[in-house]
Amino acid sequence: MDKLDIEVLSGKLDAELIKKDFPVLSNSVNNAPLVYLDSGASAQMPQSVIDRINHYHQYEHANIHRGVYELSEQATISYESVRSTVARFLNVTDTAEVIFTKGTTHAINLVAHAFGRTFVRAGDEIVISHMEHHSNIVPWQQLCEEVGATLKIIPISDIGELDLEEYRRLLSDRTKIVAVTHVSNVLGTINPIKEMVALAHAKDIPVLVDGAQGAPHMKVDLQELDCDFYIFSGHKVCGPTGIGILYGKRDWLERMNPYEGGGDMILSVTFEKTTYAEIPAKFEAGTPPIASAIGLGEAIKYLESIGLENIENHEKVLTQYATEALSDISGLTVYGTAPQKAGVISFGVKGVHPHDMGTLLSDDGVAVRAGHHCAQPVMQRYKVPATTRASFYLYNTLDDIDKLVDSVRSAKKIFS
Ligand code: PMP
């Protein structure tokens, strides 16, 4: 693929221009311009999000839902309006189905506790996949240990696709929930969620989708996917840390017991008995990260102004370009080569430890992730201790990829 083809393909998105919206990306690291290829861990924030958060702190800050004074009412309006922004982003209509959490990990723990302790019993089964992030493994494992249920694992193929035949076989009368990632944070595989949800629903089994790597990178239409829970983090969609979203179907949320107890989630409290608020408040105990929620709303508006389809298309082009260029390097293996793949490339170079690779790239200003990426079972599946991972976003350019490839080549030379 040459550069001219690529410019035509990603024509609707000018990454050079977009880059200018992100102040951190004009910085230098180790006397080299920063090449940020770790958006899979955390995306950068555009100036509009930083400004919106500052504005809240400077002019709007007050606790929400309780004050009768103007400032608190304004803060409440700003916070609550983000629920509608998120509902539009996910194409759902009922804003009460949008719950603010601290992030993906917190949201999955919420469901594992609230759904798990309400519906899962000894002898039941929970189906997850071999490519899950630890956040979508450990909470379910803890639940299983507590109630005496069993985890069942959907295997992955050599190229990094889920084995759907085995998935069908795993769905049984004992299955209480399926919890699966939309996109693998290591392999980049985009899973066929719509099909998987339909198969589970045919047996009345609800499905939770970990959208931490899905929502930032493609248009998510929950009316189309029809999953029961969809979860993502603010800091991966160009928003701040400390905020995430749990979308849940009203029927499930209403039948689930609360997760955390405290202020805001109650209707009435006496020493004899507490009754709970309606959703979404039932799952939002305590003062939430108000500024972060408002920042998340601004981040979503920013992504929508660029267009999620344009972002997805741009990342596909970058991924194809990078895969071709990296594959030309002898001794380099890419882990995860499924045809349906998002902007994540995990690789290893013979004779170079992934951590050494990450450090040498950093010397050139190239920021990538090295390690097990909180997905140790994936490392076990491919029999590697770690990988180096480059992940792309809307502000990455072909020049960024060229710098990555040059830097990998130089690192390899040092070890040969
Ligand atoms: N799931 C996936 C697929 C992820 O990539 C991540 C973040 N690396 C998480 C869950 C956890 O997200 P957070 O740390 O924001 O809770």
Q: What is the mean pLDDT of the chain?
A: 96
> Mutate which of 374, 376, 393 to test ligand 1's pocket (most atoms within 8 Å of Cβ)?
374
Residue 4's pLDDT band (cuts 50, 70, 90): very low
Residue 212, ligand 1, Cβ within 6 A: yes
Q: Does residue 171 share a domain with residue 241?
A: yes
Q: How far apart are CA 66 and CA 98, in angstroms?
A: 20
Helix then strand count (H, E) for the chain reads: 15, 17
Task: Say how many Å lie between the CA of residue 389 and the centre of ligand 1.
Answer: 15
Residue 105, ligand 1, Cβ within 6 A: yes
Q: Give the pair of three-digit tokens for residue 333.
A: 């293996």
The mean per-residue pLDDT over the stretch 338-343 comes to 97
What lies within 8 Å, CB to CB, of 206 at 6+ separation is 115, 177, 178, 200, 228, 229, 249, 252
Q: Does residue 312 share a domain with residue 301?
A: no
Residue ending a domain, choose from 243, 276, 305: 305
Q: Does residue 31 share a domain with residue 140?
A: no
Length of the chain (residues): 416
Give the pLDDT confidence score for residue 104 in this predicted structure: 98
Q: How far apart are CA 94 and CA 392, in angstroms?
A: 32
Q: Does residue 386 share a domain with residue 243?
A: no
Residue 59's CB: how many other CB atoms inside 10 A? 9
The residues pairing with 332 across neighbouring beta strands, listed in sequence order, are 349
Range of the domain at 180: 50-305
Q: Does residue 362 share a domain with residue 345?
A: yes
Please answer whether residues 237 and 394 qualify as being in contact, where contact means their C-beta atoms are separated by less than 8 angstroms: no
Q: How far apart are CA 230 and CA 178, in angstroms?
A: 12
In this predicted structure, the answer to whether residue 5 has a pLDDT above a threshold of 60 is no
What lies within 8 Å, CB to CB, of 149 at 6+ separation is 120, 121, 122, 123, 124, 125, 126, 143, 176
Residue 240's CB: how many other CB atoms inside 10 A? 22
Give the pLDDT confidence score for residue 17 in this predicted structure: 97
In this predicted structure, the answer to whether residue 374 has a pLDDT above a threshold of 90 is yes
What lies within 8 Å, CB to CB, of 194 at 6+ separation is 224, 225, 226
Lowest mean pLDDT among 6-20, 24-38, 167-181: 6-20
Q: How far apart are CA 237 and CA 373, in angstroms?
A: 18
> Mutate which of 213, 231, 292, 373 to test ligand 1's pocket (most atoms within 8 Å of Cβ)?
213
Sign of CA dihedral 284, 289, 291, 293: negative
Each residue's pLDDT tens digit, 216-270: 999 999 999 999 999 999 999 999 999 999 999 999 999 999 999 999 999 999 9
Angle at 140 between CA 137 and CA 146, to 5 degrees: 140
Residue 101, ligand 1, Cβ within 6 A: no
Residue 38, ligand 1, Cβ within 6 A: no
Going by C-alpha positions, the residue among 211, 213, 209 that lies closest to residue 227 is 209
Residue ending a domain, choose from 305, 338, 357: 305
Residue 346, ligand 1, Cβ within 6 A: no
Task: Say how many Å lie between the CA of residue 11 and the centre of ligand 1.
Answer: 30
Q: Give the pair of three-digit tokens for residue 187.
A: 């392999």
The mean per-residue pLDDT over the stretch 93-114 comes to 98
Q: How far is CA 130 from CA 90, 127, 136, 182, 356, in A?
A: 26, 10, 10, 13, 27
Q: Does residue 352 share a domain with residue 298?
A: no
Q: How far apart are CA 416 and CA 414, in angstroms?
A: 6
Residue 101's pLDDT band (cuts 50, 70, 90): very high
Q: Does residue 301 share a domain with residue 167?
A: yes
Closest ligand 1 atom to 210 CA: 1
Q: Does residue 288 share a domain with residue 312?
A: no
| Residues belonging to the active site | 374
Sign of CA dihedral 185, 25, 315, 98: positive
Q: Looking at 53-173, which runs of residues are DSSP E strands?
A: 98-101, 125-129, 150-154
Q: What are the DSSP calls for 392-403, one per residue?
A: --TT--HHHHHH
The residues pairing with 153 across neighbouring beta strands, listed in sequence order, are 128
Nearest CA to ligand 1 atom 4: 212
Task: Say how many Å lie between the CA of residue 302 and the centre of ligand 1.
Answer: 21
Residue 30's pLDDT band (cuts 50, 70, 90): confident
Q: Does residue 230 share a domain with residue 342?
A: no
The mean per-residue pLDDT over the stretch 76-85 comes to 97
Q: Does residue 219 share a domain with residue 140?
A: yes
Residue 213, ligand 1, Cβ within 6 A: yes
In this predicted structure, the answer to whether residue 9 has a pLDDT above a threshold of 90 is no
Task: Say how many Å lie between the CA of residue 133 and the centre of ligand 1.
Answer: 7
Q: How far apart are CA 116 and CA 181, in angstroms?
A: 18
Q: How far apart are CA 40 and CA 344, in angstroms?
A: 7
Residue 109, ligand 1, Cβ within 6 A: no
Task: Say how many Å lie between the CA of residue 212 and the centre of ligand 1.
Answer: 5
Q: Does residue 348 share a domain with residue 268?
A: no
> Mutate which of 130, 218, 233, 376 to test ligand 1's pocket (most atoms within 8 Å of Cβ)?
233
Nearest CA to ligand 1 atom 7: 41
CATH number, domain with residue 76: 3.40.640.10
Amino acid in the structure at residue 381:
R
Q: Does residue 278 share a domain with residue 153?
A: yes
The rounded radius of gyration (Å) of the Cα atoms in the chain is 22
Task: Say how many Å lie between the CA of residue 104 and the centre of ligand 1.
Answer: 6
Please answer whether residues 246 and 341 qualify as being in contact, where contact means their C-beta atoms are separated by less than 8 angstroms: no
The continuous run of DSSP H or E covering 347 comes out as: strand 344-349
Query: How many separate domains does the chain show?
Result: 2
The mean per-residue pLDDT over the stretch 156-182 comes to 98
Angle between helices 354-363 and 398-415 (to 10 degrees): 120
Q: Give the pair of three-digit tokens for residue 164.
A: 């759907």
Each residue's pLDDT tens digit, 192-219: 999 999 999 999 999 999 999 999 999 9
> Mutate which of 185, 217, 245 to test ligand 1's pocket (most atoms within 8 Å of Cβ)?
185
Residue 185, ligand 1, Cβ within 6 A: yes
Residue ending a domain, choose from 305, 330, 350: 305
In this predicted structure, the answer to whether residue 88 has a pLDDT above a threshold of 50 is yes
CATH number, domain with residue 398: 3.90.1150.10
Task: Say how many Å lie between the CA of residue 90 and the centre of ligand 1.
Answer: 18
In this predicted structure, the answer to whether residue 300 has a pLDDT above a threshold of 80 is yes
